Amino acid sequence: MSITDADFLLIDNSNSFTKFAIATRTEVGPSRRLSTAEIERDALTRVLRGWSWKTAVLSSVVPSKGDLIADFLAPHPVLRVGPKTKLGVGIDYPQPKTIGADRLANAAGAFATYGAPVVVVDFGTAVSFDIVSPAGNYVGGVIAPGLEAMTDYLHQRTALLPKISLLEPPSAIGKSTKHAMLAGAVYGYRGLVRQILQEIGKELGIPHNLPVVATGGYAELIAAGLPEIKTVQENLTLDGLRIIGTLNGSGR
């Protein structure tokens, strides 16, 4: 893929980090990222240096930063993802405007790759579950605190509990404070995810073998102990943005 003549610049503007990637209409290419808090015009100039593209496809859940990015990219065309954008999936939801653009991109990417029904579990600042029904419609989801947010809260609100780096615990019974926190975080979080998936499956009438794809920073860690998660796709959101750009006739 030529980094100087891509069809798309894909931008996933999330709460903690913002990912940028160039893409053709058929594949996602090289990616870069910035801390969302650091996004200003100078930082955007640096992160996009050397790339050229025809159309930007922007998913933003941080309105002030999304507006800044869109303004910076002008006069390049910018497709901002929302419920009125062609997604490849329908929307059966009471207030479509309240659905995060990243969640729509995840649904679009998962449906295009795995069909329907499918559940996306995105392990980001929050963990979100997004459901595409057997009829191929986005029907809603679940939002819970992110894994890192939970462990950081323990560190911030207690005098003796340290800040920990998240990884697989050596055992369920912790032999140190750090290991006890890891066991509580990782095993406890898997329990949270498993129970939510069970309830979603019941409501969809699919109590067994529910198709689930995971993405986000801690997807590999948590999915390693959850047979309910069939697939981990690291760049699902970016791939969804590529698909949305193509469906909307952009990048030409």
d(CA 177, CA 196): 28
Per the residue annotation, which of 102, 122, 130, 239 is the catalytic one?
102
Q: Is 122 a catalytic residue?
A: no
Residues 6+ apart with CB under 8 A from 17: 33, 34, 35, 36
- Count of H-run helices and E-run strands, the chain: 7, 11
98 to each of 141, 157, 177, 207, 239, how far by Cα in Å? 12, 31, 40, 28, 22
Q: Are 143 and 120 in contact (CB under 8 A)?
A: no
- Three-class secondary structure of residue 36 per DSSP: helix
Q: Are 212 and 197 in contact (CB under 8 A)?
A: yes
Name the one residue in this structure whose structure tokens are 């503007």.
13
Helix or strand holding residue 34 (H, E): strand 28-35
d(CA 122, CA 237): 9
Question: Considering just the CA atoms, what is the radius of gyration of the chain in Å?
Answer: 19
- Residues noted as catalytic: 102
